[in-house]
């Protein structure tokens, strides 16, 4: 299932599923972009819905930074990683970028696997 040719073929056959996933991840991309925008606004993030796997990855891998909370009572928070509020903001941003790429890739792999197994089951 990790073969590029297989993935490309599956994407062509099931284009609507991949487009839906792409749209679902647009909010995570927008959220990531907002991390590098200075703001005085704190509190709830008011952008598009952020993909849950990305938020989970941020919380798991970058959840121990003093003062930084990705969610409060389940509400995604506006985080600014360029104004000196947190230690090592550049490194945190770099890691958040890596987590966006990796969590999105995992979700894509999951979709390919799901479609592949559905095709096998119909066999």
Q: Are 38 and 82 in contact (CB under 8 A)?
A: yes
Note the pTM of the prediction, 2 decimals: 0.87
Note the pLDDT tens digit of each residue in 18-37: 999 999 999 999 999 999 99
* SS3 (DSSP) at 71: strand
Q: Are 112 and 10 in contact (CB under 8 A)?
A: yes
Note the pLDDT tens digit of each residue in 50-95: 999 999 999 999 999 999 999 999 999 999 999 999 999 999 999 9
């Amino acid at each position: 299932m990790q073969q590029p040719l297989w993935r490309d073929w599956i994407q062509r056959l099931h284009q609507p599923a991949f487009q839906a996933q792409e749209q679902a991840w647009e909010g995570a991309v927008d959220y990531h972009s907002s991390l590098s925008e200075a703001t005085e606004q704190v509190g709830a993030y008011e952008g598009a819905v952020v993909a849950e796997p990305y938020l989970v990855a941020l919380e798991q891998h970058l959840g121990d930074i003093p003062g930084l909370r990705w969610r409060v009572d389940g509400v995604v928070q506006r985080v600014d990683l360029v104004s000196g509020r947190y230690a090592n903001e550049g490194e945190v941003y770099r890691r958040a970028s890596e987590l966006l790429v990796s969590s999105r890739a995992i979700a894509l792999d999951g979709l390919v696997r799901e479609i592949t197994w559905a095709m096998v089951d119909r066999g």
